[in-house]
Structure formats: C-alpha cells, structure tokens
Amino acid sequence: MLVTTPPPALPEGLRGDYAAARPDFTVVQNMADYSDADHATWRALYGRQAECLRERAAAAYLAGLERLPFRDGVPDFAASSAVLRRATGWTLVAVPGLIPDDAFFDHLAQRRFPVTHWIRKPEELDYIVEPDIFHDAFGHVPMLAQPDFAEFLAAYGRMGAHAKRLGALKPLARLYWHMVEFGLLREDGRVRAYGAGILSSATETLHATESDKPRRLRFDPWRVLRSEYFIDDLQPTYFVIEDFSELYAAVDRLPALLEAARDAAPIPPGAAAEGDQPYRLTGEE
C-alpha cells in the first residue's frame, strides 16, 4: 500500500515525494539517484561545518562524526547504520521529509532514526526551510553513537503515545526542540553544542557557543517543557546539560511533568522565569 498524499498533520508544500513512501513513511535510499552536484553540495557543507565545529561541538558528537562514513559525499544509510548498530543498536531509515508525529515516535522507539533522503540545492547552502539530509544526517546522526543520548532518544519515542493521550504533545515537542535540536553541554569548563539545529548551521553554532546575546540556562525539564521557541530565527534561550545521562534520567519524571506542563502557562521565547539558573560561557564553576 502506498501513501498517495501527505497526511493532514504535515505542512503544505513539502518538497519530498510522499507518493513513494510506505505506510511507515520510509522510502528506499537509492545511492545512484544522487548526482555529482549533490555529492559536491554535501562535501561543501561538510567541509565548512566540520571546520566550524572543531572547537565548538561536544566531544561525543565529534567522535561520532569521525566514526561515520560522512566525509566523501552524501552518506549511504546502510553503511552508517552498520556503524550505529554496533555502537548503540540504532539504524537509519530514509524518509521523504517531515513525517507525522505517530510515525516519528514509533521509529524512534524502535531505534530507527528517520533521515530525509534528498539534499538541498547549491543556492541553499546557507539556509533551507525544510530539514534535508545534511541537517538530519550531519546534525543528528553522530549523537546516535553516544549511548546515553541514544537511550534518551528511544525513550523519547516511547513517550510519544503517552503524551498524545495526555494532550501534551506541545510540551513534549519542546523537549525535543531544546534538548535534541538545540542542546548545549558543559565540557572542560566551556559550553559546547550537541544539538542538530545548532551543528548543521554555522550561524547558529557561533550564536549558541560564543555570542553573549542568548540566555543559557541549566537544564531543568520542568522549565524546558514550558519554554516556547522560534522555529525560524536564532534561539534566544538554550539549555545546558553537564552530562548526557541527565537527559535519560529525566525520563522517569516526564509523565507527571508533561501533564503539569500541559496545564501551565508557557514561557515565551527568550523570556526569563522564576528559578532560572544562568550559565556563563566560560570560567564558571
């Protein structure tokens, strides 16, 4: 059975070919479909961003990146999955682009990370509206080799159905946004990035790790679940963990916190809130 139209839960006008997708929204990644220009676009993005991240990304991310076959062109998901399977039991599945929440949660719970199979056009090197393979693979996949983070992401997927029953998908999405897309880690006395939305963007990397403009706060799940965000601008607030095990450790408290966050007033993007614990960039113990 094929899905013929993007489901209503997805935004209009997505670029991917949803007609080719299976019921779980996966498609086949055919390496022969990538042109020389596609590989050149990947290498241009990879080269530029890997350089930018050397001193700014978390060590675990850089170690994951090193293990994956990402350097020479658009990555083959089968080869990348072989690396991940050995490290943490995860695999990659190709998708046409954004997929509905239910399918997304189910893939994560099964340790399958959905990766958009197409790559942006050369004129979109600096900015693209929809996540493409560079964002999904370069940004997210290296962290899947980090055991605590990998456990957290699978637990996040398992939490999806529960949050939906509670009517708490918005707070759950905030957790993904702040801690998977835009998470920071304190490492060797400095703030380093591990979130994919940061790591796949040179501008956001500098903003998140070096600018004194954004608010950087100690990770607190209750604060995160209430914190709204901008989807099309640099983040005004980031949350900082000290160790990846903190994310998984928060999972046990999530059912109660999600319910409370559903009923609480959200905190607008960039606003301060009671109990905030700010981080300085360096030198703070």
CA distance 67 to 17: 31
The answer to whether residue 137 forms part of the interface with Fe ion (CB under 5 A) is no
Site string for Fe ion, 26-55 (x = CB under 5 A): ------------------------------
State in angstroms the smallest separation of the CB of 181 from Fe ion: 5
State in angstroms the smallest separation of the CB of 131 from Fe ion: 5
Q: Which of residues 185-224 bind Fe ion (CB under 5 A)?
A: 196
State in angstroms the smallest separation of the CB of 140 from Fe ion: 6
CA distance 172 to 264: 13
CA distance 181 to 92: 17
Contacts of 95 (CB under 8 A, 6+ apart): 16, 21, 25, 26, 27, 114, 115, 116, 117
Active-site residue identified among 107, 140, 178, 207: 140
Q: Of 40 and 234, which CB lies nearer to Fe ion in the complex structure?
A: 234
Residue with nearest beta carbon to Fe ion: 196
CB 117 within 8 A of CB 29: yes
| Look-up of token digits 């409370």 | 260
State in angstroms the smallest separation of the CB of 274 from Fe ion: 30
β-strand pairing of 91-95 with 112-116 = parallel
Active-site residue identified among 81, 107, 181, 207: 181
Task: Tell me the catalytic residues.
Answer: 135, 140, 181, 200
Residues in contact with Fe ion by the rule CB under 5 A: 196
